[in-house]
């Protein structure tokens, strides 16, 4: 069609030339005969006519139809799209592309725009990381819209992923040849070729697919401008060409279901359905990357003898995975190779080192730490994002975040291993120092003595307010820095990273048995650092259930010869000593040591450790029967955490305060605190504390009589703790269900749950929680009308809590044992237990508990025939305790222990 237009234009030129000759002769004749006389005028006029006629003949000869390529006939449609694999899953991507490509107006054939910004063609750029399926998506879309482009579909591979991408000149030549322009008529200059392409396609409805483009500069001359044309470009870069109002289409990874569909398409639906668990693990090993899934699926289809479990085993080893992800016609390594080789050398080295670290969120800081300047880091990150080896993540953080696909990370790390050892050691030493500076700088908020160790310039503006989140996110890399520092002979830096990390032990979960390795103090370590590392080892021993080891490390005899800890160090040590006594179920000494620690830390102005010591002090005060003091301590700690801007500490303290408010019978105040804590822990991605908060919210819902919601909280907490292997917490959740199930009238289920909880606590060696659960077993037997069988478990609970000094738990157990004695007619024993419970409840703010015990005392007095005493006690308590009247008729042998 374009050459038909060209042919018509040639005839117009010939006719115009003839008419122009006549007109020129007419016009110039008058002028010539005005200027010249006689024979001179005739000679000049004749020469002019010959000249104009010759020009007209020359133009006609140059533009006659025989001198151009054969015209493109409308009836000849060019379908040049190669075949492609089907597009599986991710329907939204394909549907969106189809809608855009089908919305094509009729060609206008009007004047050509001067520049591409006024182009009427649809220009659609599709980009994504290597192996995500950009070409497959684009070809599937192009095949489906053939009818909308009756003048044809052209496909051109621009070799953007090769060492020698096609030049714009060669690409234009190829397109013009396909549009039937004769080879000898193709202009030499790129601009002229581009103009010829625009002219030929101006009134066509044509789809051009430019596959695997290298850059916008390569593509821009190849673009038509007519309204009926569309161009579909695939590239690893997000190219900005054509209509800037239409953003590039990003081909992201499929979700898990779509990834399974891709694997099933290539391996076979029945094969995948037969072992779905192994198939899921395979998709995760492949990082849901479609090219990897295609390769694995094809191998499985070609090897019926190879089970999914065997393929899973082959992919298990991260470093061997890339070798497995290859076949005769394609491999993931080859797919990644060009993009990686194209990187600037500093970017390639920095990317390789960072890819070698434990996986996690990346920021400009990581690259600046290797490349030494933030400007170089930003340039490197831009380069990596541009070629889709790294993906920018918008997560609301001040520092831009990035994600690297696992398979790309493995590939980059392997390439890094090939660098000369000296080059690697130089980069790694620089990164170890950067981690040391960063974590020490952030720890200075919690240990003011560290403030002079690192200047703000050394850390390039790391935000101290996000210290806990940063350290939690970098935990595995900090462990790497400690180990790598030691292997590089950087013992001082490694020890100082350990010292700083010790101030974040509430924010991280360290592997069991790692304390001595992480917090060792090599010779030459400064005394301050040695003391901090020793305290960290004691804290870790405590977390691993070895309170005696913690005490041995921190008693005066456990210090190195010649060391004299200052007042702050002694106070910080005493915090750990108090916690060790609590772990040994010695709450009296725990309260004494923690009270002393708080006083000393206040005097020293050590606000962070005051905050933490007050949090634990509140727990000990509550256990010792002083919940009103516990509330005061915890509210002060929460205020300090809010002043420090520490989200994690605030969330933790809201949870702790809510538990105390539950003891104080103020569940309406506790519930919103716990809901806020759950939200914050989810933001922090702290699953353990989220589970602990859901457990606590379940107890509050139980107090509010919302038993179904309580059970839902326990279920969700167990779903968190179970996969984490947190057996102690699973046992506590089982314990909490006992009262809810009994309150719902299902005593059998409650009894089975109690035995499950006792079994778990015995497995983990927690005798205190065995005692708490035995108390509930005793109550279940009371409720079932078997008081004699209740005495044994209740006596066990009384004795255990008495030894530990857990006054509140002891009062609960004595109250219930008093009810058992009363129902058995053992009135003296009953009153002894009731009086002991009342002493605890009256010494603290436990008005509800006191009212509940008095009701059972009144029943005992009446059973003994002491009605006057019962009436007097009833009248006096009703006047003094507002809870008492609301419990009219309450019987401790039937009611849930701490519900109305």
757-788: per-residue pLDDT in tens? 999 999 999 999 999 999 999 999 999 999 99
Q: What percent of the chain has pLDDT over 90?
A: 59
How far, rounded to the nearest angstrom, does the alpha carbon of residue 551 sit from its chain's CA centroid? Answer: 39
The pair phi, psi for residue 54, each rounded to 5°, is: -60, -40
Element (DSSP H or E) covering residue 211: strand 207-213
H or E stretch at 486: helix 475-487
SS3 762: helix
Beta-bridge partners for 213: 235
* pLDDT at residue 319, rounded to an integer: 75
pLDDT for residue 110 = 65
Choose among 335, 333, 325: nearest CA to 266: 325
Mean pLDDT is lowest, of 13-27, 545-559, 564-578, for 13-27
Confidence of residue 438 (pLDDT cuts 50, 70, 90): very high
- Among 387-401, 453-467, 810-824, the range with the most confident prediction by mean pLDDT is 810-824
pTM of the model: 0.71
pLDDT at 624 (0 to 100): 83
Lowest-pLDDT choice from 59-68, 271-280, 518-527: 59-68
E strands, 492-534, in order:
none
CB-based contacts of 45, cutoff 8 Å, min separation 6: 25, 28, 29, 32, 33
Residue 162 has a CB neighbour count (10 Å cut-off) of 12
| Higher pLDDT, residue 409 or 465 | 409
Question: Is the per-residue pLDDT at 36 higher than 70?
Answer: no
- Is residue 816 a contact partner of residue 778, using CB atoms and an 8 Å limit? yes
Question: Can you tell me the distance from the alpha carbon of 578 to that of 661, in angstroms, rounded to the nearest whole number?
Answer: 23
Does 347 have pLDDT greater than 90? yes
Measured CA distances, 699 to 268, 320, 539, 667, 726 (Å): 49, 49, 29, 9, 19
Q: Answer whether residue 257 shows pLDDT above 80.
A: yes
Burial of 520 from C-beta contacts in 10 A (0-12 / 13-18 / 19+) = middle
pLDDT in tens, 529-547: 999 999 999 999 998 889 9
Whether 40 shows a pLDDT value over 50: the answer reads no
The residue length of the chain stands at 900
For 89-123, the pLDDT digits (tens) are 889 999 999 999 998 887 876 666 655 555 688 89
């Amino acid at each position: 069609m374009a050459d038909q237009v060209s042919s018509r234009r040639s005839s117009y030129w010939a006719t115009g030339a003839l008419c122009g000759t006549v007109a020129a002769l007419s016009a110039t004749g008058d002028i010539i005969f005005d200027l010249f006389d006689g024979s001179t005028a005739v000679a000049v006029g004749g020469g002019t006519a010959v000249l104009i006629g010759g020009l007209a003949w020359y133009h006609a000869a140059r533009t006659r139809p025989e001198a151009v390529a054969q015209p493109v006939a409308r009836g000849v449609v060019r379908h040049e799209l190669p075949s492609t694999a089907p597009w599986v899953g991710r329907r939204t991507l394909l549907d969106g592309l189809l809608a855009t490509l089908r919305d094509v107006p009729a060609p206008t054939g009007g004047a050509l725009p001067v520049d591409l910004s006024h182009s009427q063609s649809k220009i659609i750029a599709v980009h994504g990381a290597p192996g995500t399926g950009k070409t497959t998506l684009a070809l599937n879309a192009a095949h489906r819209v053939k009818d909308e482009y009756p003048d044809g579909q052209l496909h051109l591979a621009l070799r953007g992923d090769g060492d020698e991408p096609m030049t714009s000149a060669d690409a234009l030549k190829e397109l013009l040849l396909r549009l039937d322009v004769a080879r000898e008529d193709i202009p030499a200059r790129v601009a002229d070729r581009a103009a010829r392409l625009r002219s030929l396609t101006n009134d066509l409805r044509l789809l051009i697919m430019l596959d695997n483009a290298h850059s916008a500069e390569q593509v821009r001359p190849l673009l038509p401008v007519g309204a009926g044309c569309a161009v579909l470009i695939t590239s690893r870069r997000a190219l900005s060409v054509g209509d800037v109002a239409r953003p590039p289409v990003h081909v992201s990874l499929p979700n898990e279901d779509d990834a399974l569909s891709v694997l099933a398409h290539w391996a076979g639906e029945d094969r995948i359905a037969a072992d779905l668990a192994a198939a899921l693990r395979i998709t995760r090993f492949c990082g849901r990357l479609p090219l990897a899934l295609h390769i694995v699926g094809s191998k499985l289809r070609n090897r019926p003898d190879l089970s999914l479990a065997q393929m899973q085993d082959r992919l298990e080893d991260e470093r061997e995975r890339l070798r497995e992800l290859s076949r005769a016609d394609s491999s993931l390594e080859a797919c990644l190779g060009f993009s990686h080789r194209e990187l600037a050398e500093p970017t390639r080295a920095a990317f390789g080192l960072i890819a070698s670290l434990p996986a996690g969120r990346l920021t400009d800081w990581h690259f600046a730490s290797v490349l030494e300047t933030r400007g170089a880091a930003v340039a490197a990150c831009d380069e990596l994002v541009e070629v889709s080896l790294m993906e920018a993540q918008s997560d609301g953080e001040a520092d831009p975040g990035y994600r690297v696909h696992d398979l790309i990370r493995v590939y980059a790390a392997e390439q890094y291993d090939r660098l000369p050892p000296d080059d690697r050691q130089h980069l790694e030493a620089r990164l170890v120092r950067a981690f040391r500076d960063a974590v020490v700088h952030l720890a200075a908020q919690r240990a003011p003595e560290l403030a002079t160790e690192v200047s703000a310039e050394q850390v390039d503006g790391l935000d101290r307010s996000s210290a806990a989140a940063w350290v939690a996110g970098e935990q595995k890399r900090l462990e790497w820095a400690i180990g790598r520092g030691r292997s590089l002979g950087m013992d001082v830096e490694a020890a100082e990273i350990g010292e700083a990390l010790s101030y974040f032990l509430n924010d991280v979960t360290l592997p069991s048995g790692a304390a001595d390795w992480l917090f060792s103090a090599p010779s030459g370590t400064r005394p301050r650092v040695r003391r901090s590392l020793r305290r960290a080892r004691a804290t870790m021993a405590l977390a691993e259930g070895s309170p005696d080891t913690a005490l041995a490390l921190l008693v005066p005899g456990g210090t190195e010869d010649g060391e004299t800890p200052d007042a702050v160090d002694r106070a910080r040590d005493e915090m750990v000593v108090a916690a060790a006594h609590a772990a040994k179920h010695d709450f009296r000494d725990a309260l004494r040591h923690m009270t002393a620690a708080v006083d000393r830390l206040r005097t020293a102005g050590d606000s962070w450790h005051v905050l933490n010591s007050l949090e634990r002090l509140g727990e000990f005060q509550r256990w010792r029967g002083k919940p009103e003091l516990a509330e005061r301590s915890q509210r002060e700690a929460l205020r300090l955490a809010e002043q420090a801007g520490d989200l994690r500490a605030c969330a933790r303290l809201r949870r702790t305060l809510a538990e105390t408010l539950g003891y104080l019978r103020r569940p309406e105040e506790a519930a919103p605190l716990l809901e806020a804590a759950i939200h914050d822990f989810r933001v922090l991605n702290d699953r353990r504390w989220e589970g602990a908060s859901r457990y606590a919210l379940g107890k509050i819902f139980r107090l509010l009589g919302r038993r179904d919601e309580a059970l839902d909280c326990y279920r969700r907490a167990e779903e968190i703790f179970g996969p984490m292997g947190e057996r102690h917490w699973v046992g506590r959740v089982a314990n909490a269900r006992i009262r809810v199930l009994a309150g719902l009238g299902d005593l059998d289920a409650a009894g089975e749950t109690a035995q499950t909880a006792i079994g778990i606590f015995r497995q983990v060696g927690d005798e205190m929680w065995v005692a708490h659960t035995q108390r509930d077993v005793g109550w279940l037997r009371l409720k079932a009308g078997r008081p004699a069988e209740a005495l044994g478990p209740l006596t066990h609970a009384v004795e255990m809590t008495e030894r530990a000094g857990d006054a509140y738990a002891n009062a609960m157990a004595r109250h219930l044992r008093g009810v058992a004695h009363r129902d058995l007619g053992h009135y003296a024993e009953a009153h002894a237990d009731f009086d002991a419970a009342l002493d605890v409840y009256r010494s603290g703010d436990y008005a509800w508990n006191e009212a509940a015990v008095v009701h059972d005392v009144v029943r005992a007095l009446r059973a003994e025939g002491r009605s006057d005493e019962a009436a007097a006690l009833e009248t006096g308590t009703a006047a003094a305790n507002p809870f008492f009247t609301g419990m009219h008729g309450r019987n401790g042998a039937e009611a849930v222990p701490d519900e109305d």
